[in-house]
């Protein structure tokens, strides 16, 4: 049967937006190449016209330059249109990605809400209150046990705290709270003796060597002949 009717051709995959953008960008590149080629021709014609005199030959070259300039304008218009198409498609892809991400986020939030609702079904608020009350009661009992274990048995129960404070105030009047000074510091220190006697008046005046009495001279014995 396949030989008679032939096999059906496999359908080509539909082009994606990325494929369309890549194809459009390639066309933009091809058009820009043609524009650069025409710009080179215009430069050559401009130099040629600058060297020619007015006349039929110059007019012919000028007409060719005008046709090249017209083609250049046409290619530039096509390039701008292709670039705008590529930009529009890229914007569409960007918006599509945003929508896809938003839908994924919404789906994730819905799944999380379902999971939370499922978990909260197993939670009993009244049971939590009962646990809190029971914990508070246990802590109170623990504090009571600690107070019992730390009770002081050295003092009788009939002693009043106010009486103890009054007795403490009475003791404060009789006791000397100053630090006791060692006995060796309380002993009277002996007076320091005068090391030098007082000098008489006028002792500091300098005596004149002339006022000093002359020492008696001893007579020398006469030499014997």
32-84 pLDDT per residue, tens? 999 999 999 888 888 888 887 888 888 888 888 899 899 999 999 999 999 99
Is the pLDDT score of 27 beyond 90? yes
Averaged pLDDT, 100-125: 90
- pLDDT class for 28, splitting at 50, 70, 90? very high
- C-alpha radius of gyration, the chain, whole number: 63
The residue behind tokens 């404070």 is 165
Q: Per the structure block, which two tokens stand in for 77? A: 């218009």
Is the pLDDT score of 223 beyond 80? no
pLDDT of residue 7: 58
pLDDT of residue 182: 55
pLDDT of residue 184: 56
- CB neighbours (10 Å) of residue 65? 18
pLDDT digits (tens, 9 = 90+) for 161-178: 777 777 777 776 655 554
pLDDT digits (tens, 9 = 90+) for 82-103: 999 999 999 999 998 999 999 9
The residue behind tokens 């430069």 is 43
Task: Indicate left, alpha or beta for 85 from its phi (over 0: left) and psi (-120 to 50: alpha).
Answer: alpha
Averaged pLDDT, 1-8: 54
pLDDT greater at residue 10 or residue 11: 11
Lowest-confidence region among 3-12, 67-76, 104-113: 3-12
Which own/partner contact pairs does 11-17 have at CB distance under 8 Å and 24+ positions apart?
17/89, 17/92, 17/93, 17/96
Mean pLDDT, the chain, whole residue set: 77
Cβ neighbors of 21 (< 8 A, separation 6 or more) are: 86, 89, 90, 93
pLDDT digits (tens, 9 = 90+) for 163-221: 777 777 777 665 555 445 555 555 555 555 555 555 555 444 444 444 544 454 444 44
């Amino acid at each position: 049967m396949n030989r008679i009717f032939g096999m059906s051709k496999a359908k080509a995959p539909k082009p994606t937006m990325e494929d369309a953008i890549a194809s459009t960008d390639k066309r933009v590149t091809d058009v820009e190449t043609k524009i650069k080629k025409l710009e080179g021709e215009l430069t050559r014609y401009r130099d040629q016209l600058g060297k020619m005199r007015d006349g039929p030959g110059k007019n012919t070259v000028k007409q060719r330059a005008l046709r090249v300039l017209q083609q250049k304008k046409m290619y530039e218009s096509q390039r701008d249109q292709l670039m705008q198409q590529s930009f529009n498609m890229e914007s569409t892809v960007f918006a599509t990605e945003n929508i896809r991400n938003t839908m994924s986020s919404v789906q994730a939030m819905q799944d999380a809400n379902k999971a939370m609702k499922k978990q909260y079904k197993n939670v009993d608020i009244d049971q939590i209150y009962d646990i809190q009350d029971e914990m508070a009661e246990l802590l109170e009992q623990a504090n009571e046990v600690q107070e019992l274990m730390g009770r002081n048995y050295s003092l009788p129960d009939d002693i009043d705290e106010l009486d103890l404070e009054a007795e403490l105030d009475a003791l404060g009047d009789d006791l000397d709270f100053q630090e006791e000074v060692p006995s060796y510091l309380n002993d009277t220190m002996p007076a320091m003796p005068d090391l030098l006697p007082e000098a008489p008046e006028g002792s500091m005046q300098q005596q004149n060597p002339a006022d000093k009495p002359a020492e008696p001279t001893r007579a020398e014995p006469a030499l014997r002949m």
